[in-house]
Structure formats: structure tokens, C-alpha cells
Amino acid sequence: ITEVRDFAGKDIEIKKLVDADSKEAVEKASAAGASPSAVDNILEQIRKKQKLSVLDKTKKDWGEYKAEKGVEEELGAYKKSSNQYLDRQSFLKRADYREYELERDARLSLMAKRKSESMQDDDV
């Protein structure tokens, strides 16, 4: 379904995908099938166009950008991998901490060994 809406004084064409059996699709099909009468033409001219909100315009522009650049799959993969990213960061942090503990234990044992050796040297 294609709608024309007013955004900042300009006519913006909005294309929406709807099910063929939806209420909107049935109304558009019946309106397109019948020829408009003179009264319908006058009412159409008098009736104000629906305003397009900034959020709707942004949504439309973002959808067009994704389709144009073909980044839909990449964004989907990134969205799905967010938990994997956090898990990976958590794993790296734990691994870094374990490595720090091992190095610290090695330093402490070396210091204790040197201290015991120096005490033995003092006794002799």
C-alpha cells in the first residue's frame, strides 16, 4: 500500500507491506476498483493529508538505507552476537585475572625462597 503524507511541507510517499486479507488492503482494493465520483474528488482535495511524524520519517529513511546498502544481514548477525560478545569479554577478563594470580603466586614463592635462603646464609 502506498500512502502520501505531509512532512515539513513536502509530500512523502510511504510504502507499507500488509497482508492481502488485512482491512487496509481490502479498503485500498475496493477504492481502486471503483471509479471516483466528483464528490470523492472534491473530498480528496479538501481532506488534509496525514502528517508524518519525525519518528515515522526516520523509520522510513532507516529502512530505505538498510535496503539500499544491503546491511540487514550484518545488523542481524551483530544483534544476535551481542550475548556472545559479552561472554567473550567476561572470559577474557577471567583469563587475565587467572594469569595475574599465577604470576603473583610465582613472585611470592620466589620472594619466600630468597628470604629463606638469605636466612640460611645469615645462620652460617
Grid coordinates belonging to 101: 594470580
Highest mean pLDDT among 30-39, 74-83, 112-121: 112-121
Which residue range is the domain that position 116 belongs to?
A: 81-124
- pLDDT tens-place string over residues 111-123: 999 988 888 877 6
Q: Pick from 60, 75, 90: which residue ends a domain?
A: 75
Residue 49: pLDDT above 80? Answer: no
Domain count, the chain: 2
Q: Are residues 85 and 71 in the same domain?
A: no
Integer Cα distance of 124 and 120 in angstroms: 7
Integer Cα distance of 72 and 66 in angstroms: 6
The model's pTM? 0.42
Give the number of other CB atoms < 10 A from CB of residue 95: 10
Q: Are residues 61 and 116 in the same domain?
A: no
Residue 100: pLDDT above 80? Answer: yes
Q: Are residues 55 and 94 in the same domain?
A: no
Q: Are residues 68 and 112 in the same domain?
A: no
Is residue 4 within a helix (H) or strand (E), and if so which, with residue range?
strand 2-7
Q: Are residues 66 and 107 in the same domain?
A: no
